[in-house]
Amino acid sequence: MFSNHPDLLPKVLRGAPPPETSSPIVNLSRRGFVTASGALVIGVGLAGCAPAAEPPAATTDAGPSPLTEVVGGDATPSLWITIEEDGTVKLTCHRSEMGQQAWTAMGQILADELEADWDRVQIVQALGDPRYGDQNTDGSRSVRFNFHRLRVAGAAMRSMLTTAAAQAWDTDVANCTAEQGSVVNNETGSRMTYGELSAAAGTLPIPAEDELTLKTRDEWRYIGKPMPSLTVPKIVRGQGTFGIDVDRADMVYAVLTRPPQVFGKTGSFDETAALAVPGVLQTVRLPDAAPPAMFQPLGGVAVVASNTWAAIQGRDALEVDWVDGPNAAYDSAAYEAAMFETARQPGRMARNRGNVDLALEDAATRIEAEYYAPHLSQSPMEPPSATAEWDGDQLTCWACVQDPQMTRGVLAGILQIPPENITVHATWLGGAFGRKSKPDFVCEAALIAREVGKPVKVTWTREDEVRHGYYHSVSAQRMEAGLDENGKCTALLHRTVFPSISSTFDPSNTGPSDGELGLGATDTPFDVPNLRVEAGDAKAHVRIGWLRAVSNIYHVFAVQSFAAELAHAAGRDQKDYLLDLIGSPRIVDPNAEGATYGNYDGPADEYPIDTGRLANVTRRAAEMAGWGRTLPEGHGLGIATHRSFLSYVSTAIEVAVDADGNMTIPGIWLSVDAGTVVNPRHTVAQMEGGTLYGLSNALYGEISAENGAVVQGNFPDWRLMRMNESPLTFEVDIVDSNAPPAGVGEPGTPPAAPALTNAIFNATGVRIRRLPILGATGQRLTLADRQDT
């Protein structure tokens, strides 16, 4: 997500020193490397009962760790692995678990190189701590950033256990082999379990990286295999701890009423009726928010009660006079028109190849189109929830956050206390999609708890989440192209206008950032001799935040829709024309053409833009869909292909539209090349979920504003795709690849909307350039209103 560009985050948001306080909710065993029980202890745990503590020091009795600075960060085994005397292996996950199976994937990587018995593996959740490095669970980076160092950590521990066994048997280490939680003496057949060896192994020096032998691919036992989820069984049994599940002694509950506009203020308020509601205890006025928005609370008034329902009823009874702020005039319809006016004018040059103006003048045919995508809300199943508890000047928080380190730093800044006084426990997240990387709701809980003097749980209702979030940016895109006499594209101009996420941190930023432009605009891989990307300014009037796939959503909608329009204008098959645009296999470097392209923080030599891989997934998805087959009347196939988060995805969709405009989706066929895939089962699930997320937003998603306030509030007017609207067939093809691992959480989303709208055009002749397709009321596809103009 957008945090691929940490330079845009203020220093206070980038983490802080490790916490020292504790809580019974989280099991964070820190007993040293060798304890009286004989266990080699490393790791952290969630939903247990042992006190919290810091990760162990990067040293043993034999000296400091030589693995603190491997590629990806600290690979010291003691940071990641606990081996109990009974053979239980506890593996630490430092990224948040929100349904994307981070626990399982991290466990597979560690357990494979450790050669652990999968049935003895348990995952425990890390506190926010700098020793783990980046803990920001977004950007589809958890596996990519940690694949190598977790393998090194597992291999180092395996080496230490094998050495300990060799010493116990007085034999050469070459005669010993680790095998599923034990070490086997190849000469005698003797076997010692990891539990039996852990104490002795903990006294040995940690080997250097060049002394380790990582497994070859054909030796992998768990990596690349469809291992079952380590979280789903717990969820089914009600064993996981989500933000809403946290319970503290003497805890009270709070909900807030917030200004309807960003930077609106609380005027006078009458709490009389609210305090008369049974269970309501008091109200707390929060400070008014002021620019920059960052992750501070929006202000307003909290109603504190003995239960959440009473707090909600008390809020409904509260009478507040709001004072308009600087965004009171924001109207999304007028804003849309203004953005298109900007898009019709030259903008800031973001990438340039050849001479687009001259090529457009000389073109045999000139094509123009404009595309609109509205604000969106992340809408995770679980709205934000946080619990805060003070003990003197020490604060402990439990919250469904994507980055406990950053949350700790934000709290320190808001509360003006040292970060060392703050402990943040990341619970499980009931979905996130970027919303829970902004910890404003945790700050609310901390402020209210300090005022009340008791533990406080803050709950956001669905209306709170929809009306007071950090929204996916609205955008206007203008595309122009020139075709020669044979229909070949000779010039392509892409203008993109949207308020930037960076405005959340600095309101003077009124134009797209280079990081956002690199998500689907400046990284366009098309083999067109004249190409230019321009950016236009747009001032933000709501809080802008990252949402699953970020700027790729509207950029890919425009680029891939326009590619299909060019194919139609040229009288060509859409898939064939798209492959011609992608061109021959080659490496594309946007920076060589004036772009400032970050490549999702991936080294260009490891993760180049490879058009061969892009074309490959396009052909595979088309073949899966039976591209070119005779379709029934009212049916159409569409395709869209994009590289995002270093993965290549092509999605083909079949739609069926009847004479009354009712649309169904008979099938979706998707091919993904994500490099080395740790768990194919969960990769399939992410492709399915990401695609459905994109389709839901394309069909219905629109956040609009009037008088500075968001209009939508709950699912009747912020509609989501329903189960009976899902495709009858959904097939996912994973390309077998030896390339480094890339992202899988977000790349399925960007191609969904253009593949759908391209299919609708091929079924009906209706060209859709404005999202959402149907709107919150779910009206039929009205053909007369959607014809090409």
Q: Which of 46-60, 199-213, 512-526 has the lowest mean pLDDT?
A: 46-60
Which string of b and e fits 652-661 if b means at least 16 CB within 10 Å? bbbbbbeeeb
Give residue 51's pLDDT. 34
Give residue 449's pLDDT. 98
For residue 639, the SS3 value is strand
Q: Is the pLDDT of residue 77 over 70?
A: yes
Q: What is the pLDDT of residues 635-647, one digit of tens each?
A: 999 999 999 999 9
Give residue 783's pLDDT. 52
Give residue 24's pLDDT. 32
What are the φ/ψ torsions at residue 259 (nearest 5 degrees)?
Answer: -55, 140
287 versus 785: which is more confidently predicted?
287
Q: Is the pLDDT of residue 724 over 80?
A: yes
769 versus 20: which is more confidently predicted?
769
Give residue 128's pLDDT. 86
Q: Is the pLDDT of residue 719 over 70?
A: yes
Q: 97 near 231, Cβ under 8 Å?
A: yes
Q: For residues 99 and 682, what is the distance between their CA atoms, to the nearest angstrom? A: 10
> What percent of the chain is modeled with pLDDT above 90?
89
Give residue 21's pLDDT. 33
Give residue 342's pLDDT. 98
Q: What is the mean pLDDT of residues 271-292?
A: 98
CA distances from 775 to 2, 479, 699, 750, 770 (A): 27, 24, 6, 19, 11
Q: Is the pLDDT of residue 328 over 60?
A: yes
Strand partners, 177: 184
783 versus 372: which is more confidently predicted?
372
Q: What is the pLDDT of residues 132-153, one digit of tens each?
A: 999 999 999 999 999 999 999 9
Under DSSP, the state recorded for 306 is S
Q: Which of 29-43, 246-260, 369-383, 426-440 has the lowest mean pLDDT?
A: 29-43
Q: 80 near 43, Cβ under 8 Å?
A: yes
Residue 14 is encoded by which pair of tokens?
């980038």
Under DSSP, the state recorded for 376 is B
Q: 361 near 429, Cβ under 8 Å?
A: no
Q: 672 near 690, Cβ under 8 Å?
A: no
Please state, as a whole number, how many other Cβ atoms lie within 10 Å of the Cβ of residue 608: 17
Give residue 675's pLDDT. 98
* Type of residue numbered 387: T
Would you tell me the crossing angle of helices 102-114 and 142-169 to the nearest 10 degrees? 30
Q: What is the pLDDT of residues 605-622, one digit of tens each?
A: 999 999 999 999 999 999
Give residue 54's pLDDT. 54
Q: Please, is 153 exposed, middle or buried when counting C-beta atoms within 10 Å of its C-beta (0-12, 13-18, 19+)?
A: buried
Q: 438 near 45, Cβ under 8 Å?
A: no
Q: Is the pLDDT of residue 16 over 70?
A: no
Q: Is the pLDDT of residue 302 over 80?
A: yes
CA quadruple 56, 57, 60, 66: dihedral sign: positive
Q: Is the pLDDT of residue 396 over 90?
A: yes
For residue 403, the SS3 value is coil
Of 95, 393, 329, the C-alpha closest to 104 is 95
Q: For residues 159 and 315, what is the distance between their CA atoms, to the nearest angstrom? A: 60
What are the φ/ψ torsions at residue 72 (nearest 5 degrees)?
Answer: 105, -20
Q: Is the pLDDT of residue 200 over 80?
A: yes
CA distances from 199 to 211, 550, 760 (A): 22, 47, 64
> What percent of the chain is modeled with pLDDT above 70?
90
Q: Is the pLDDT of residue 40 over 70?
A: no
47 versus 388: which is more confidently predicted?
388
Of 659, 625, 660, 629, the C-alpha closest to 640 is 625
Confidence band, pLDDT 50/70/90 cuts, at residue 49: very low
Give residue 653's pLDDT. 98
Give residue 57's pLDDT. 60
Q: Is the pLDDT of residue 685 over 60?
A: yes
* Type of residue numbered 243: G
Q: What is the mean pLDDT of residues 376-392?
A: 97
Q: What is the mean pLDDT of residues 399-403?
A: 97
DSSP state letters, 91-125: EEE-SPPSSS-HHHHHHHHHHHHHT--GGGEEEEE
CA quadruple 83, 88, 89, 91: dihedral sign: negative
Residue 469 is encoded by which pair of tokens?
């979030």
Residue 671 is encoded by which pair of tokens?
């091919």
Please state, as a whole number, how many other Cβ atoms lie within 10 Å of the Cβ of residue 616: 20
Q: What is the mean pLDDT of residues 473-488?
A: 98
Choose the most confident range, by mean pLDDT, from 25-34, 57-66, 552-561. Answer: 552-561
Confidence band, pLDDT 50/70/90 cuts, at residue 62: low
Q: What is the mean pLDDT of residues 551-555?
A: 98
Q: What is the mean pLDDT of residues 675-689?
A: 98
Q: For residues 93 and 82, what is the distance between their CA atoms, to the nearest angstrom? A: 12
Q: Is the pLDDT of residue 356 over 60?
A: yes
DSSP state letters, 119-143: GGEEEEEPPS-GGG------TT-HH
Q: Looking only at Cα atoms, what is the longest distance across the chain?
A: 85
Q: Please, is 418 exposed, middle or buried when counting C-beta atoms within 10 Å of its C-beta (0-12, 13-18, 19+)?
A: exposed
Q: For residues 554 and 23, what is the distance between their CA atoms, to the nearest angstrom? A: 43
The predicted model scores a pTM of 0.92
Give residue 64's pLDDT. 87
Residue for token pair 């993109």: 496
Q: What is the mean pLDDT of residues 261-265?
A: 98
Q: Is the pLDDT of residue 163 over 60?
A: yes
Q: Is the pLDDT of residue 50 over 70?
A: no
